[in-house]
Structure 1
Amino acid sequence: MGKPAPTTLAGKPIGPVGYGMMGLTIPWAPVDYPVAAKLMKTALEQGANMWNGGIHYGTPEKNSLHLLKYYFEKYPEDADKVVLSIKGAYGMKTGPDGSPEAIRASVGEAYKVLGGVKTIDVFECARVDPNHSIESQVQTLAGLVKEGKIGGVGLSEAGANTIRKAHAIHPIAAVEIELSLFTPDPLQNGTVDACHELGIVIVAYSPVGRGFLSGELKKLDDLAENDFRRMLPRFKPEVFDQNIKLVEGVEQIAKRKGVATAQVAIGWVCNQGAIPIPGSKNEERVILNSKPASLTDGELADIQMILDTFPVGGERYGGAHEKLLNG
């Protein structure tokens, strides 16, 4: 059997599945705040109370923080129910900036936008900045914890060695990584083992492989011409059909269980002792994603056979962005 999923984060109880807000506010797929708030309310009602957002998810005038402020002004009674993790110190064009000044400015901006409607339970630099030591980055965040600006320190896309170095400076509350049947790498490179050893919560983004395991993609033409995923290596024509074979294998397990493919995918992530944070613009999908499938040892073995038989083609991001992974 797998690892038990964590039940607390930053000293607060969390459900087995969280909620990622990237799909709600990024420039290429905007959703009106009233619609987004309804989805967030639904997620919370389903027990998905660990929410993850980023300052760079959107524009400086309209991003995750502005959406969160809108939500908690509308539902102030929910502020204490939600465990909020925010990423920052990162620019979509400029990349990470782990200098003390940039980290403090990023937290200050998040603090300012929220305007006191919700505390920041965990703050994480969106990527590890190779130009500044992890010790320096964590020391800055630890200072912000002491000042009461943030509740805990998180890491994003950090490798095992970095996690150990960071944890030696200040307890790390959570590590956010891409973990899914399309990206099982953290199980093999020591990242998951390090987190379990140190008692750090693993937050798994893109748990349905950026939509591959949603059950909605059968061919490349199912993606709109302006869908940002067409820019990602795994969605390129030369590997798309290869990657669909993995999906088809998981679909067979889902059919036998009478559940959706996404529920099997999310259930597998939960089985690794992680908190998956799927995001969606569809209320029915939010509800479905909040109910991960319970997998038997035999089903887990079948899934491993599928992973061994159908290796994933293509990098996660490619180019300069790929170099910032597992920092």
Structure 2
Amino acid sequence: MITICNTPVGSTGYGLLGFTWRPHQTPDEQAFAAMKKAIEKGAICWNSGEFYGTPDPTLGLQLLHRYFKKYPEDASKVILSIKGCVDMSNLRALGSPADVRKSVDNTLRILDGVKKIDIFECARVDPRTPIEETIGALAECVREGKIGGIGLSESGAATIRRAHAVHPIAAVEIEYSLWATEIRTNGVASVCAELNIPIVAYSPLGKGFLTGEIKSPEDLPENDFRRRFSRFQPENFKINIELVNRVEGLAKKKGCTPAQLAMEWVRYQSGRDGMPDLLPIPGATTAGRVEENCQEVGLTEEEYSELEGIIGSNQIVGGRYFEAAESLLFA
């Protein structure tokens, strides 16, 4: 059982990630069907950002506004987490009290009352502002009723501890998947377990890589920003694809998709062996993909061990992002 903002989420509670790196806007009819399916399947923790979407930087929030305006009865069913406080022109994290308030108020303006913000988090830690000041400003927003709770994103263990001392942290959003396991060795998972903070595992499918549907860098659309990421560069891709090939082999033997197997690996660890509760938030733009992601296929101890063996014997080369963005991870 996971509790986020005093709302319990059972073992079937998945997140629906905002459409963060899609090269084009998903038509409302298709997006709304996916969102409806998510609620039907218990995927009620939705994650978006003030800066998500193309070409309009508020596309993600505007989509949410349109959805909840059309379906106001769904607003109370969803736990909405919003990231903000980033200058997208230079990828600069903005954590000053003034910037925090500006971002929260802008988000509220766009949502225009159709849905409350259950969790608000700065997308990255501002190295120029003490985390105590950033969280202090967000705590004021909680007391004023502007947001329900405070989250952290891509924060290091020491930062999580310092932030939690100022105000209880509802969740820590961090990348976690078969090809991104750093939280198990850098203290993030252990401090979250100690403080009873759930981890929202974003990109549990490796930004689409672990689905097995991307066989070469050329499979990515020309304007897809994953083409800039180190792990998707041709020289690294040809090494990293071996992990996917082996996961595909196990998935075929099990009778499920690689994506389902990758998701099950995350869920299997939730609350076990010193790990905190884990809430995977895969991205989806179609109802069919939501259904696939929410289908639990189960995992035996032997299958889990085999996946761990695949991780241990396959080197992943390249960073999760590009160089400028890497410096803001685990801050």
Q: Same fold (TM over 0.5)?
A: yes
Give the whole-Å Cα distance in 2 for the aligned partners of 1:315 and 1:208: 16
Choose from 267, 287, 291 the match for 1:287.
Answer: 291
Give the whole-Å Cα distance in 1 for the aligned partners of 2:99 and 2:208: 33
Q: Is 1:319 aligned to 2:301, yes or no? A: no
What does residue 167 of structure 2 align with? 170
Structure 1 contact 22–54 (Cα < 8 Å) conserved: no
Choose from 62, 66, 69 the match for 1:66.
Answer: 62
Question: Which segments of 5 or more consecutive residues in structure 2 lack a partner in the other structure?
Answer: 271-277
Q: What is the CA deviation profile of residues 78-130 of structure 1, one whole-angstrom value per residue up to 9, with x for unaligned ones?
A: 11100000000112223211010110011001111111111100000000000
Counterpart code for 2:46: W
Counterpart code for 1:315: G
Give the whole-Å Cα distance in 2 for the aligned partners of 1:65 and 1:224: 24
Q: Which runs of 4+ in 1 moved over 3 A?
A: 59-62
C-alpha RMSD over aligned residues: 1.5
Query: Helix, strand or coil: the match of 2:170?
Result: strand
Choose from 116, 123, 127 the match for 2:124.
Answer: 127
Choose from 75, 79, 90 the match for 1:79.
Answer: 75
Give the whole-Å Cα distance in 2 for the aligned partners of 1:135 and 1:30: 37
Question: Which segments of 5 or more consecutive residues in structure 1 lack a partner in the other structure?
Answer: 1-5
Query: Helix, strand or coil: the match of 1:294?
Result: coil
Give the whole-Å Cα distance in 2 for the aligned partners of 1:197 and 1:311: 30
What does residue 30 of structure 1 align with? 25
Choose from 84, 89, 96 the match for 2:85.
Answer: 89
Give the whole-Å Cα distance in 2 for the aligned partners of 1:82 and 1:221: 36
What does residue 273 of structure 2 align with? none
> Per the alignment, do residues 61 and 132 of structure 1 end up closer, same or farther by CA in structure 2, a change over 3 Å counting?
closer
What does residue 55 of structure 1 align with? 50
Deviates more, 1:294-303 or 1:165-174: 294-303
Structure 1 contact 16–270 (Cα < 8 Å) conserved: no
Give the whole-Å Cα distance in 2 for the aligned partners of 1:147 and 1:46: 33
Give the whole-Å Cα distance in 2 for the aligned partners of 1:220 and 1:75: 39
Structure 1 contact 17–277 (Cα < 8 Å) conserved: yes
Give the whole-Å Cα distance in 2 for the aligned partners of 1:131 and 1:291: 43
- Identity of aligned pairs, percent? 48
| TM-score when normalising by structure 1 | 0.94
What does residue 281 of structure 2 align with? 277
Q: CA deviation at 1:298?
A: 1.1
| TM-score when normalising by structure 2 | 0.93
Choose from 17, 33, 40 the match for 2:35.
Answer: 40
Deviates more, 1:57-66 or 1:208-217: 57-66
Q: What is the CA deviation profile of residues 19-46 of structure 1, one whole-angstrom value per residue up to 9, with x for unaligned ones?
A: 10134xx573321223212211111111
Deviates more, 1:288-297 or 1:83-92: 288-297
Q: What is the CA deviation profile of residues 42-75 of structure 1, one whole-angstrom value per residue up to 9, with x for unaligned ones?
A: 1111110000000010366642211111111111
Q: CA deviation at 1:220?
A: 2.9
Query: Helix, strand or coil: the match of 1:79?
Result: helix
Q: What is the CA deviation profile of residues 134-185 of structure 1, one whole-angstrom value per residue up to 9, with x for unaligned ones?
A: 1111111111100100000100000111000100111000000000011011
